């Protein structure tokens, strides 16, 4: 049987190791993808550290996958070999549970994610359910497109469902892997975009990305500065700091919403009075379905939104993962297979 390279984790907290294994076959309802690029997301730590329930090891991480369909399983009618597709956090749904019956596929009770529930994209090939596929536009390279399948869709989908309208004041808290895309999407959607980050070093980048204003959270009181501008309709919290989120709540205007996409287990501190006084709200937002990923990539291709990436070959996955975890990557690490 033909072989391929894959980078697996053999056990929780084990090393990322490059191995050789059989190329998988596409079962009924699946396609096989010849991987070209796979983004490294902080959520891959769930697999590496065993922080997600019921992961079966060994497991190949990776849920920001772009490649070419090279085999189609029985029953797949809408996809064909040769198409360039992506697979993101939403890696399949059951279609039968109560949530799926309401069309809420991202919250399927039996939802799957590549790299957690089945082998992901740190490999030359992977297989995925056909409902998890998003078509990649020609205008995007595979390396650029890969992070849009998690960081991109998360920020784009949250903003377009936020209730903000063109011209509204929208803050983006944190200018990193999520935030640098959030700023671009906010600007392209027509929002009065305020970038918020620690220190002055991020201001030139924020301006380059299109932000209309910049607030240094170390030197300025963010809530007071936003209030001077009339109060934010939405603050997209991409930074993984509950303290930073707590500090901006009073910067929300009437009917303002703190929209959280940065994952942290620490609590946000807010009083009922802060919410009641201006009808403020706090909401979390997951990523989205395959069609949401497709919309994200189409919007990015149309408007010029691009991810800032560093690439590394598949055989340097462990080094690239460590760079991502260190926070030194600017801003998304992407593995390439040479395909």
pLDDT single digits (tens) 46-67 = 999 999 999 999 999 999 999 9
- The per-residue pLDDT for range 166-198, each reduced to its tens digit, is 999 999 999 999 999 999 999 999 999 999 999
C-alpha to C-alpha distance for 90 and 83, rounded to whole angstroms? 19
13-41 core/surface letters (b: 16 or more CB in 10 A; e: else):
eeebeeeebebbebeeebbbbbbbbbbbb
Residue pair 87/148 in contact by the 8 Å Cβ criterion: no
Q: Which residues pair with 4 in a beta bridge?
A: 21
Residue pair 259/280 in contact by the 8 Å Cβ criterion: no
Residues of the chain with CATH 3.90.180.10: 3-147+288-336
C-alpha to C-alpha distance for 138 and 268, rounded to whole angstroms? 41
Phi, psi of 255 (to 5 degrees): 65, 20
- The per-residue pLDDT for range 100-116, each reduced to its tens digit, is 999 999 999 999 999 99
Question: Which CATH number is 153-284's, of 3.40.140.10, 3.30.70.100, 3.30.420.40, 3.40.50.720?
Answer: 3.40.50.720
Q: Which CATH superfamily is domain 3-147+288-336 in?
A: Medium-chain alcohol dehydrogenases, catalytic domain (3.90.180.10)
* Count of beta carbons in the 10 Å neighbourhood of residue 101: 10
Residues of the chain with CATH 3.40.50.720: 153-284
Split at pLDDT 50, 70, 90, the class of 339 is confident
pTM of the model: 0.97
Residue pair 125/34 in contact by the 8 Å Cβ criterion: yes
């Amino acid at each position: 049987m033909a072989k391929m390279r894959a980078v697996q984790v053999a056990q929780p907290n084990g090393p990322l190791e490059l191995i050789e294994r059989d190329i998988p076959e596409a079962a009924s309802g699946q396609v096989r993808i010849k991987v070209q690029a796979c983004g490294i997301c902080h959520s891959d730590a769930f697999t590496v550290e065993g922080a997600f329930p019921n992961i079966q090891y060994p497991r190949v991480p990776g849920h920001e996958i772009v490649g070419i369909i090279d085999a189609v399983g029985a029953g797949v009618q809408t996809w064909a070999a040769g198409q360039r597709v992506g697979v993101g956090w939403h890696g399949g749904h059951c279609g039968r549970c109560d949530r799926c019956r309401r069309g809420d596929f991202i919250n399927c009770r039996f939802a799957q994610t590549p790299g957690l529930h089945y082998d992901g994209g740190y490999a030359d090939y992977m297989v995925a359910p056909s409902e998890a596929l998003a078509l990649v536009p020609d205008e995007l390279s595979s390396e650029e497109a890969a992070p849009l399948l998690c960081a991109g869709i998360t920020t784009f989908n949250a903003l377009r469902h936020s209730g903000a309208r063109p011209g509204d004041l929208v803050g983006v808290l944190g200018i990193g892997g999520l935030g640098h895309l959030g700023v671009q999407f906010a600007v392209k959607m027509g929002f009065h975009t305020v970038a918020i980050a620690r220190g002055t070093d991020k201001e030139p980048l924020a301006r380059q990305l299109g932000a209309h204003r910049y607030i240094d959270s170390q030197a300025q009181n963010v809530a007071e500065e936003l209030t001077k501008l009339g109060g934010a309709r939405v603050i997209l919290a991409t930074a993984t700091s509950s303290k930073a989120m707590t500090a901006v709540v009073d910067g929300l205007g009437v009917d303002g919403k703190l929209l959280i996409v940065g994952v942290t287990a620490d609590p946000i501190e807010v009083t009922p009075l802060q919410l009641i006084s201006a009808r403020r709200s706090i909401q979390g937002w997951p990523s989205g379905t395959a069609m949401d990923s497709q919309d994200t990539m189409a919007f990015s291709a149309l408007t010029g939104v691009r991810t800032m990436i560093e690439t590394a070959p598949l055989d340097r996955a462990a080094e690239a993962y460590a760079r991502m975890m260190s926070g030194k990557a600017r801003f998304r690490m992407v593995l390439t297979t040479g395909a």
